[in-house]
Amino acid sequence: MLSAAGNRQPFPWSFPMSQSRPARFVVIIPACRPQVHGEFDPLAFACGKPVLFYTIQQAQESGASGVLVATDDADIAHQAQQDGAQALLTKGWSNDMERVADAAAQLLQKGLVDEATVIVSLPANEPLVFGKTIRELVGEFSGSCADVATIGVQGMNLMQGYDPRVVKVITDKHNRAMYFSRASAPVMPGRMAIPTAINHKYRLRQVQVYAFRLSVLTAYAQWGVCPPEYFEDLEQIRLLWNGGSIQVVQLSHMGNLSIHDIKDIERLTKRLSLVIG
């Protein structure tokens, strides 16, 4: 059954509360319909299935205690249930973190998560973030003191460096995020190339998957949009603006296929065809 705020009906994947499992986590997939023609639609088809199906499949293979799709759209909610996930109705939020915070608050109210539960946000447009990658993110996060964790991929190429759809993250020596940008960052006046060692370790391509502590999501929902967030259109900047820490889990390699538009779906279809046959 579709679950909305205030609905006390139990979820089919209810699990016992236990303080002995600090790495217990749930995956919330924020999803909404496009506001502009040509933008990513979670219900767009690739190899005979909605893109949302593949994202749910990855979440289910992560070992999460529960997989939910948080949405304000009835069609997406119905498809999520068809694909084996639980659907949660939320308000029409302006970004994914706000939507995930709404969903997490509903789960807390229903007693399905507690403060020890790690909340993973897996955007619907990331169908190729493998379950093992999600587990690695949660494992690294559980052993850190950071408020949030995300993924950074080493070895960004020149084309990615200038693509505003590719989010760049600059880290400190402790692998904590210093800032995020859609621009080519950092700017190095007078230099055509960034030294390889620096480029690989401190200048990373961010994959916008997050692991949260519940208390941080609760706080995030109460903060307003900050100026840099408005300029960059990057929700995670709000965390840094308010003093939060973001651990960046570095991966040496990860395919670059976040889905933004119809052309990306065509590329996804070709890649899936090689696997599915």
CATH assignment of the domain containing 100: 3.90.550.10
Owning domain of residue 142: 25-265
Cα dihedral angle (172, 178, 179, 180), rounded to 10 degrees?
Answer: 50
125-134, 135-144, 160-169 — which is least confidently predicted?
160-169
Residue 2, pLDDT score: 37
Residue 122 placed within a domain: yes
Residue 158 Cα distances to 147, 166, 185, 206, 250, angstroms: 31, 11, 11, 15, 19
Residue 126 placed within a domain: yes
Residue 277 placed within a domain: no
Residue 11 placed within a domain: no
What average pLDDT score do residues 23-38 get?
Answer: 90
Residue 272 placed within a domain: no
For CA atoms 15, 17, 18, 19, the dihedral sign is positive
Residue 192, pLDDT score: 56
CB-facing half-sphere around the CA of 110: CA atoms within 13 A:
23
Residue 273 placed within a domain: no
Residue 271 placed within a domain: no
Q: For the chain, how many structural domains are there in total?
A: 1
| DSSP annotation of 83 | T
CB-facing half-sphere around the CA of 93: CA atoms within 13 A:
22
Report whether the peptide linkage leading into residue 34 is cis, meaning its omega lies within 30 degrees of zero.
no
The reported pTM is: 0.87
Residue 244 placed within a domain: yes
Give residue 186's pLDDT band: very low, low, confident or very high (50, 70, 90): confident
Look at residue 106 and give its three-state secondary structure.
helix
